[in-house]
Amino acid sequence: MNTATTASLKEAYESAKVENPKMRIRDIARHLNTSEAQLVALRAGEGVTPLNNDFTGLLKDVHTAGHVMALTRNDHAVHERKGIYNNVSFEGMMGLALNEDIDLRLFMMNWKYGFAVQEGDRKSLQFFDKTGEAVHKIYLTSHSDEAAYDQLVAKYTSQEALPEILPTEVAAPAPAELPDADIDAASFQKEWLALEDTHHFFGMIRKYKLTRTQALRLAPEGMVQELSADASRKMLQGASEQQVPIMVFVGSKGCIQIHTGTVNKVMEAGPWYNVMDPEFNLHLREDAIAATYLVKKPSVDGVVTSIEVFDAAGEMIVQFFGKRKPGNPELEVWRELVATL
């Protein structure tokens, strides 16, 4: 991006912030037909430090900063979980953070840019894919080790020139859904009913070249039930009132973030329905919900029941389960709660 273009975009960004003080940077980027990463990069040297691409090394070292807030979002859900980044490991481009608090599935092939960002007193590490869309962010909290964070930034600061983030580089469109008539539905349904591990569900969908919503549409009888648009709200209210421990999955292209435990303070704020607990926040945009399903999958531990929420494009917004670990059947109180929906 040349100097004149940079100055013009910077001016437009500052004007947009003044005109829309409550608008998030993600939404301003779309308003300006650019990417969030480009807007962050505009402030390089002014509170923003470009990081090198050793993201796996950085993530393994984040635990030194202590208690932080992990944030993963998509267009319609924001998942914020506080804790410590322990037990981070990688196998090729796939990574895990396995903890009771920070629980992540990492897809490093989709991580392209990283920045250390300071906005007032707030410090964070922010990561983006090749299109400039955020895949994951890590914010310091009042309990973080700020000196350790500064050391992390110094260790992983890029020594290269600021990379050019191309606004024209867009994500590849999703493959077109095959006609239902072209699917071997009988074999698919038979394989669904023979599942022994819910983690094999995604592979099964890929095998039959199905979209997620198409798979639910062609599910075996009794395995999928469509729910009302407010089912997530009702479930969260019930889980709060009855203290049913749940699992909440929200994903970007580069990360799936999971909360496991109870939820307490639930509330509506405009189009968003929210969990506002000290260590976990969820923001779910209800007016973007196009379809919600109750989904049952067999496993060696018995049937596993989830609530899956989709937008109009068929993209998963959020997924809910009852708290469960492999080797244990799902909680009866979870089954009783979803039965009310």
pLDDT in tens, 98-120: 999 999 999 999 999 999 999 99
Tell me which fold the domain 3-87+112-156 belongs to. Answer: Heme iron utilization protein-like fold (3.40.1570)
Q: What pLDDT does 3 receive?
A: 53
pLDDT in tens, 300-315: 999 999 999 999 999 9
Q: Region 20-32: what's the mean pLDDT?
A: 87
CA–CA gap between residue 46 and residue 73 (Å, rounded): 26
CA–CA gap between residue 304 and residue 276 (Å, rounded): 27
Q: Region 270-291: what's the mean pLDDT?
A: 97
pLDDT in tens, 66-97: 999 999 999 999 999 999 999 999 999 999 99
Domains 3-87+112-156 and 180-339 alike in fold: yes
Q: Is 67 helix (H, G, I), strand (E, B) or coil?
A: strand
* In this structure, CATH architecture of domain 180-339: 3-Layer(aba) Sandwich (3.40)
The domain limits of the chain are 3-87+112-156, 180-339
Residues 6+ apart with CB under 8 A from 154: none
Q: What pLDDT does 174 receive?
A: 73
Q: Which tokens belong to 31?
A: 């308003």
